[in-house]
Amino acid sequence: MATPLTDQEKRKQISIRGIVGVENVAELKKGFNRHLHFTLVKDRNVATPRDYYFALAHTVRDHLVGRWIRTQQFYYETDPKRVYYLSLEFYMGRALQNTMVNLGLQNACDEAIYQVSECVCLGLDMEDLEDMEEDAGLGNGGLGRLAACFLDSMATLGLAAYGYGIRYEYGIFNQRIKDGWQVEEADDWLRHGNPWEKARPEYMLPVHFYGRVEETEEGSKWVDTQVVLAMPFDTPIPGYMNNTVNTMRLWSARAPNDFNLRDFNVGDYIQAVLDRNLAENISRVLYPNDNFFEGKELRLKQEYFVVAATLQDVIRRFKTSKRNCSGPLSFDSFPDKVAIQLNDTHPAMAIPELMRIFVDIEKLDWDTAWDITKRTFAYTNHTVLPEALERWPVRLLETLLPRHLQIIYQINQIHLDHIVSLFPGDLDRMRKMSLVEEYGEKKVNMAHLCIVGSHAVNGVAEIHSNIIKTDVFRDFSELEPEKFQNKTNGITPRRWLLLCNPGLADLIAEAIGEEYVKDLMQLQKLNELVDDDAFIRDISKVKQDNKLKFAQYLEREYQVKINPASVFDVHVKRIHEYKRQLLNCLHVITMYNRIRAKPTAPFVPRTVIIGGKAAPGYHMAKMIIKLITSVADVINNDPIVGNKLKVIYLENYRVTLAEKVIPATDLSEQISTAGTEASGTGNMKFMLNGALTIGTLDGANVEMAEEAGQENLFIFGMTVEEVAAMDQEGYDAMQYYKSIPELKQVIDQIKSGFFSPKQPELFHDITNMLFNHDRFKVFADYESYVKCQEKVSALYEDPKKWTQMVIKNIAAAGKFSSDRTIAEYATQIWGVEPTDLKIPPPSEPREAIEETARALRKI
């Protein structure tokens, strides 16, 4: 029997995370000590753990800089078509470990920190240093995290791509659970500084608001505006092991220096200084209401701020490209050199803004400008929920962006004239397809603007794309069917396997080689090992190790002991009625009632883990959290239940916490009402990390079932067609309540105050909603869900069959790489080909400095 490896021997092993080279380690140690001394101005007597994190971050960044500069030089020399991904959210998480993984430095950094620590008895631990980094929580959930995965894949595929967004001073709020209630705290993620960003004040740009439109002989002029400056901060985005480093540019609002000069003259200097905050509030905080449109002026300012600054930057780069510098400038080639992807409708004002630039500033005629604009933009739709679709009041646009409203009206008039020519007299079609909604308060439908102003429109899963073509945007699809596409979402395997689950990543590499990291379809080779007892045993051990590690984390952070042999049943995502955390909660209470009714009966132990944030103004979502935590208090403290059932609410769910819980999960809950979840990406992360899925045929679950075989997922509930039929017939919640005894018992317990004895009526809002206006039909799927959960427990009692199903799911996860998604966007929408760019390898940091000095001497 082999002797177990010591921690240091494990650290020195060759793994998929990079070979530990002596020169690498020496260089990293030198850089670490240099940054501690010269950058942070500390010695080891006074340095804090955060200082050591910053020293390591700067050291790793040193290895990025040469690649970053070379990449941008390469783009200038070769002048490829550039892709601009516009998103109001980039949910990046932490950068240190991701950068080390993509550069192949993680094991070398581990060893360097170990040696530095051993040498001077610092007691440094890599995980502790990584935990000092704040999450860059610049997103609410799926949409922002998708944007982050896409940036990783665009760099890995060698695309000349840029992410553009806002550098929010405060990201998604930190969630605290106090007495079972969600309490929001500000996420001051920049308070210690951010070692990964580089301010670029030399590219600061003006953004205009308010004012009026003046008609002149030369055309329309937007005058008497208020100006806010957009200051760019660049973050490097490294591809995986390919020397490509792309850029994410985030804009921060700054007041101009000549603010309110008139106030100075009357002596009100202090007030003038304070008024600067009004301008700078634009980038102060991320709006937390994902999937609910509020229509606040500040939000519209944010949306226009990012597109106005970005388009100026895009046009500057186009004008100063090598090709345009050497010949006459023509915008005819603009769509051949620029592709702009709108991540949902939030950046939709880019369409009238580009038209304003072309017509008012560059003096192109309308038809030419509109042709260029349409060939430049493409639009991704992310939701079918009506409350999430953006509709901006005309009165607000008229005040804030008067010229843009004029342009929208003109776009709409031309659009409606076209519809009339095709469907004369069809007033209902005109009303449904107009960009401007006339009923009630006059509003501009931003999704309609995106569709009309783009050459391609896509959904994010097959089922979602079909719904937007046949239902939500049916009239537009009938008008231009060739415009509508599907691009099923994906996740980056670098963060969501190599980084978060190195044990599984290395095991897969041993079995099929390392190439799968950049070609995830190679996971299909694992199907050959489904009956291999040794591989089954190894997969099972990796999962058990991850579960033990997460159990220790829960005990440390939540002071609760859980049974590592239990089914880890995990439901983590934003709290929303359509995601049906309530259905999960009803099943938890059902299991509790069964245990209490028959305490000695066999029961497969479960640890139900639920986590996610509710939008601060979303009352029902907050009540759902309170119900779950109240149920957890009762169950976890009932001696009859013991270790058979535990319920944990994960506080402050975020990217870093996802990286901990996903590798430890046995059962992934993806239980939205069919037809409501656009795609989901959490489902893909769990699948890749060896969890089995219990879910409806909704979003990407449908394609997961196609890839793995429906028999290898736990599918339950109504289909989209059955939901639609029930909508036609009418949903009667009371019928289910009366006919299903276990459901009746659960609802009666909630209603009577069993879980809230001090406030018996606490959850009446929830029960009233379930009976009277539950759009998401929780009761209708309850019985099917409970029976499906019984199948889960039965299979879990057969570890070999369970693990074989796990292997089949991992083997089927290849389609859900964001590399595949981005390759499809590139070839089918953007008109670019993914390539392994031949960017020269960078110099080492010291050589790079000398190379720069030589270049400067030549100048």
**Best CA proximity match to 798, nearest among 604, 607, 508:** 604
Question: What confidence tens digit (pLDDT) does each residue in 549-576 have?
Answer: 999 999 998 888 999 999 999 999 999 9
Catalytic residue chosen out of the listed positions 573, 580, 646, 777: 573
Mean pLDDT across the stretch 758-766?
Answer: 97
Question: What confidence tens digit (pLDDT) does each residue in 640-668 have?
Answer: 999 999 999 999 999 999 999 999 999 99
Residue 386 — pLDDT band, cuts 50, 70, 90? confident
Residue type, 233: F
Predicted pLDDT at 623: 98
Predicted pLDDT at 840: 63
Question: What confidence tens digit (pLDDT) does each residue in 424-461 have?
Answer: 999 999 999 999 999 889 999 999 999 999 999 999 99
Mean pLDDT across the stretch 744-757?
Answer: 98
Catalytic residue chosen out of the listed positions 373, 673, 681, 693: 681
Question: What confidence tens digit (pLDDT) does each residue in 156-214 have?
Answer: 999 999 999 999 999 999 999 999 999 999 999 999 999 999 999 999 999 999 999 99
Catalytic residue chosen out of the listed positions 382, 404, 543, 820: 382
Predicted pLDDT at 15: 58
Question: Left if phi > 0, otherwise alpha if psi is -120 to 50, otherwise beta: which for 674?
Answer: beta
Please write down the HEC assignment for all residues of 570-617.
EEECCCCHHHCHHHHHHHHHHHHHHHHHCCCCCCCCEEEEEECCCCCC
For residues 757 and 689, is the Cβ–Cβ distance under 8 A? Answer: no
Spatial distance between the Cα atoms of 483 and 46, rounded to a whole number of angstroms? 61
Q: Which residue has the tokens 């581990």?
A: 110
Mean pLDDT across the stretch 810-830?
Answer: 98
Let me know if 432 is a catalytic residue. Answer: no
Let me know if 382 is a catalytic residue. Answer: yes
Question: What is the H or E stretch that residue 785 is in?
Answer: helix 778-796
Predicted pLDDT at 293: 64
**What are 687's two structure tokens?**
């699948």
Predicted pLDDT at 758: 96
CB-based contacts of 605, cutoff 8 Å, min separation 6: 563, 565, 566, 567, 643, 644, 645
Residue 288 — pLDDT band, cuts 50, 70, 90? confident
Spatial distance between the Cα atoms of 451 and 147, rounded to a whole number of angstroms? 20
Predicted pLDDT at 850: 60
10 Å Cβ neighbour count for 371? 13
Mean pLDDT across the stretch 450-478?
Answer: 96
Predicted pLDDT at 351: 98
Catalytic residue chosen out of the listed positions 579, 580, 587, 654: 579
Predicted pLDDT at 18: 60
Question: What confidence tens digit (pLDDT) does each residue in 56-95 have?
Answer: 999 999 999 999 999 999 999 999 999 999 999 999 999 9
Q: Which residue has the tokens 């646009």?
A: 397
Mean pLDDT (the chain) is: 92
Let me know if 316 is a catalytic residue. Answer: no
Mean pLDDT across the stretch 247-268?
Answer: 75
Predicted pLDDT at 266: 54
Predicted pLDDT at 560: 87
Question: What confidence tens digit (pLDDT) does each residue in 498-509 have?
Answer: 999 999 999 999
Let me know if 787 is a catalytic residue. Answer: no
Catalytic residue chosen out of the listed positions 70, 356, 606, 685: 685
Let me know if 494 is a catalytic residue. Answer: no
Residue 857 — pLDDT band, cuts 50, 70, 90? very low
Question: What confidence tens digit (pLDDT) does each residue in 2-60 have?
Answer: 344 444 344 334 455 565 666 789 999 999 999 999 999 999 889 999 999 999 999 99
Predicted pLDDT at 859: 36
User: Does 475 score more than 60 pLDDT?
Assistant: yes
Let me know if 579 is a catalytic residue. Answer: yes
Predicted pLDDT at 5: 44
User: Does 269 score more than 80 pLDDT?
Assistant: no
Question: What confidence tens digit (pLDDT) does each residue in 315-332 have?
Answer: 999 999 877 766 678 999
Long-range contacts of 124-133 (CB under 8 A, 24+ apart): 124/52, 128/49, 129/49, 129/52, 129/53, 129/56, 129/96, 130/53, 130/94, 130/96, 130/97, 132/49, 132/50, 132/52, 132/53, 133/53, 133/57, 133/94, 133/95, 133/96
* pTM (predicted TM-score): 0.94
Q: What percent of the chain has pLDDT over 90?
A: 85
Mean pLDDT across the stretch 729-745?
Answer: 97
User: Does 132 score more than 70 pLDDT?
Assistant: yes
Residue type, 465: S
Predicted pLDDT at 145: 95
Question: What confidence tens digit (pLDDT) does each residue in 574-632 have?
Answer: 999 999 999 999 999 999 999 999 999 999 999 999 999 999 999 999 999 999 999 99
Predicted pLDDT at 260: 54
Catalytic residue chosen out of the listed positions 403, 443, 574, 576: 574
Residue 410 — pLDDT band, cuts 50, 70, 90? very high
10 Å Cβ neighbour count for 399? 14
Predicted pLDDT at 837: 56
CB-based contacts of 51, cutoff 8 Å, min separation 6: 36, 40, 42
Question: What confidence tens digit (pLDDT) does each residue in 528-537 have?
Answer: 999 999 999 9
User: Does 261 score more than 60 pLDDT?
Assistant: no
Mean pLDDT across the stretch 306-323?
Answer: 94
